[in-house]
Amino acid sequence: MKQLGWLLFAASTLFAADVNTFSIVGFDPANGDCGVAVASRYFSVGAVVPWAEAGVGCVATQANVNVGYGPRGLELLRQGLTAKQVLDKLLAEDTFPDKVGRQVAIIDRNGGIATYTGSNAPTWAGDRQGKTWSAQGNILVGPQVPEAMGRAFEATDGELAEKLFAALKAGDDAGGDSRGKQSASMIVVRKGGGRNINNDRYLYLNVDDNPLPIPELRRLLDMNLGYLWQARIGPMAGAGKAGEARDAAAKYARYMPSANAWISLGVMDYNLADKPAALADLRKAFALDPTVRSQFEPPAAGAAPTGGRGGQRLRAILEDQEFLKQLFPDK
């Protein structure tokens, strides 16, 4: 029986070694955004590793993971402790087995960073830091993974979500975990920045079980960012911020290049008196979905322009006969 027990223990240890993970926590000092991106040969890694709260901070807990580091870490950050103080307290309070197998990274509300990779974290295990990020992992092909992640984070322009994704992809391209791929997750928090009302999750994306989790995470990220930018167009235009509304429409079209997105951008460009750009935008919309042409078809003689489904937002275009002639040269 003792021999059987040791065999079962050995088998469980080998199975646990499949829980290999690389992650990055990042902070945007310009707007206070905080986020975590992670990939792993582990089912639904987003349910375990990433933790974040707007105006409080972020935690990534992994390796021989104590999941309680996530909620407890945020609780301590909420009390005003620094990342280093939170890390020290988490380790001091940890009474579960194999504490030296843990790996954790913390960013506080001011961008302070603290990390820990225990001596018993499964190799290769380690971490690297920059001014606004920490990359870490275990059971990786080597230190080139977090190093590539850091370089990509710093070299990528734009918002935090883009920087986090670039880092995750770079880590994967550098070899990532040594046992394979299964899941990926990203969370970014911003006060009031999420979709709908009273939501601080700017985005929270999970690929739970996929042989190619990084490309799938990219697809979901594009959708999420597209919806967020689409939602900003109307309020910005209504507030008289035509240039900002146009920029939001351009990002909507970038992330979700649908016919509707190109129509939105076309309307914004037209309103800014950039008719050549508006023509190009609308032609892209027609190429993607020929049925949307009906929204712009010149009305029958004597009929008032209605804009079809587009309504009021298209009225100025529909009343511009010269523009319509250019849009429909075959008419």
Residue 252 CA to residue 124 CA, distance in Å, equals: 40
Does the N-terminal peptide bond of residue 124 adopt cis geometry, omega within 30 degrees of 0? yes
CB–CB of 230/261 below 8 Å? yes
* Run of H or E including 161: helix 160-173
- Which uninterrupted H or E stretch holds 184? strand 183-189
Identify the burial level of 205 via C-beta atoms within 10 angstroms of its C-beta, where 0-12 means exposed, 13-18 middle and 19 or more buried: buried
CB-CB contact of 267 with 245 (8 Å): no
State pLDDT tens for residues 197-225.
999 999 999 999 999 999 999 999 999 99
- The number of angstroms, rounded, from the C-alpha of 306 to the middle of its chain's C-alpha atoms is 39
pLDDT for 176 equals: 79
**Residue 13: its pLDDT value, please?**
36
Domain boundaries, the chain: 19-211, 242-327
Is residue 73 a contact partner of residue 106, using CB atoms and an 8 Å limit? yes
Q: What Rg do the C-alpha atoms of the chain give, in angstroms?
A: 25
Would you state the pLDDT for residue 20? 66
| CATH number assigned to the domain covering 19-211 | 3.60.20.10
* H, E, C per residue of 80-116: CCCHHHHHHHHHHHCCCCCHHHEEEEEEECCCCEEEE
Tokens representing residue 236 in the block:
């910005």
CA distance 329 to 331: 6
Residues with pLDDT less than 50, the chain: 1-19, 301, 305-309
pTM of the model: 0.88
pLDDT value of residue 1: 41
DSSP-assigned letters across all residues of 115-142:
EEE-TTSPSS-EEEE-SSEEEEEESBS-
Which residue in 229, 138, 225 sits closest to 188, CA to CA?
Answer: 225
Given this model, what pLDDT does residue 297 score?
77
Q: How many CA atoms lie less than 13 Å away from 54 in the CB half-sphere?
A: 16
Q: What pLDDT, on the 0 to 100 scale, is given for residue 97?
A: 95
